[in-house]
Structure formats: structure tokens, C-alpha cells
Amino acid sequence: MSKILRACVIAALTAGVALGAPGVALAAVDPSQEATQAPSPSATPKATTPAVTPTGGQFGCLGETDDYGVPLPCELHLTLLSPVCDNDVPKLRYVAEAIGSPNTTVTITWLNPGGANVVQSGLPLSGTVLWPGAVVGPDGKGADWPGWRQLADGTWVQGDEFDWVRPAVSVLFQVNPEATVSVAYPPSSPNCATNPPGAEVLAASNEVLSATGTDAAPLLIGAVALVTVGGLVLAFVARRRGSHSA
């Protein structure tokens, strides 16, 4: 009887180990030997899509082609480009025509060969802009002009930070496409001045002085030569008379 009971107990213990029953001590597992588990889907980093720079007609030329696959023109034509004087203010009047581009604004850049450019952006395709360095007074008339500065006593003298915009300047028009042109500073007229009051008289005086300095020397040399020749002729005539009287 005891042998039978002992055999049953041993069988029960053996079955518990095989099934992993609770309360049965199992061999400890070394953490370093555990297989690496895959992270949960929420912890997995998502692939990022690189930002794509927008393209298309609104950013430049349309890039369309004709029926034969030939690219259509993408050009900028300046159908009007006129320096004008308006109420004693120098301005530039323009009309730009963009072909192959849906853009409706133009950026005008006055190119300074020795310093910072003057940029006028977001302009319509046709209009009128101030010449760089020009200032409009409260009365709507010109109050300052490029290439001139006013002294404390009110006198205007030549030379300021906008000397480079005259007598001519290169101007870049950008609609995407773009075009660069050279424009001349608008001259004054009897009814409109693009220089300070009295500056035209000063400029004329400078021209006269310059002409005097360059052309007077040859005239003076010619006069001296004539006097010298005349003196020699008179001396020769007097000598001939003296010889005849003797």
C-alpha cells in the first residue's frame, strides 16, 4: 500500500514539472541570453518623405512644348522703357510683357557696379517708378535728386551716394524670365527739372570752364605764333627800306 502511494506521489510531481504547473520552480533564464524583441509598431520610426520644392507655372516659365515637342518661348519683352521728368521728379516708365510665364509681377533691380543694388519688388507689369535717389516733397514736387547734395546754407553741390545712377544705369527686370537694359537719366526741360534749382546754370558754367581749359591753349599758341611772324615781317621790311635808302 505504501509503495503504491509513493508511486502516485512521484508520478504527480513528474507531471507538474512537465506542464509548468504553478508553484514548481523552473530554471532561471539569463537576461543576456534572451532574444532581442522587435519594438512595438508605435515605437517604430516612420519613414519621412523629403519636402518637395513646388514647381509649375507660378514659379517661372510654363515649360510647355508644341506638337513636335519643341519648347515654347519663355521671354520678357520691354515694350516701353522711357525715362521721364514728372513734376521735377526723375522717373522710369515701363511696360513688361512676359511670354511663357503666368507671373503677373515684376522685380526691378537697379544694378550698382560698386555697392548695394536698389531693388523694387512686387510691381505690376506696367507702371512708373522713382529713380533711385529721387525724393518727392510734401507738395508733390522734387525735393532731392540723385548725384546732388544740399549744404547747410542751402547750396546744392554735385556728389552723393547715388552718383552711380547717372548719366546712365543698368536695370534688371525679372518676371522669370528676365531682361537687363541700360537706361539714361532723364534730362531737364523748360517745364521740368531733374536737377536742383540753379544746377543747370552751374553745369553750364562747368562746361564753359572745361572748354576754356582744354581749347584756350591751342588758341593762345596760335596767337603768339601770329605775333611772332608779324614781328619778323616788320623787321624784314624795315631792313629792306634801310638798305634802299643807303
Supply the pLDDT for residue 101. 87
Residue 51 maps to a domain: no
Dig out the grid coordinates for 137 from the structure.
516733397
pLDDT at 66 over 60: yes
Range of the domain at 141: 75-199
pLDDT at 74: 86
Question: Tens of pLDDT along 88-147?
Answer: 999 999 999 998 888 899 999 999 999 999 999 999 999 999 999 999 999 999 999 999
129 falls within a domain: yes
Task: Fill in the amino acid letter for 97.
Answer: E
Which is nearest to 199 in space by CA: 134, 132, 160, 147?
147
N residues, the chain: 246
Q: Is 157 strand, coil or helix?
A: strand
**Range with the poorest average pLDDT among 43-57, 67-81, 214-228:** 43-57
Phi, psi of 55 (to 5 degrees): -130, 165
CATH number for the domain harbouring residue 132? 2.60.40
Residue 46 lies in a domain: no
Strand partners, 153: none
Burial class (CB in 10 A: 0-12, 13-18, 19+), 109: middle
| pLDDT at residue 172 in the model | 96
Count of domains for the chain: 1
Residue 6 domain-assigned? no
In-domain check, residue 19:
no
In angstroms, the CA 105 to CA 220 distance is 61
- 238: helix, strand or coil: helix
Is residue 5 domain-resident? no
Is 2 among the domain residues?
no
Determine, yes or no, domain membership for 102: yes
Cis status of the peptide bond prior to 41, with omega within 30 of 0: no
- Which triple of cell numbers denotes residue 77? 519683352
At residue 43, what are phi and psi to the nearest 5 degrees?
-90, -10
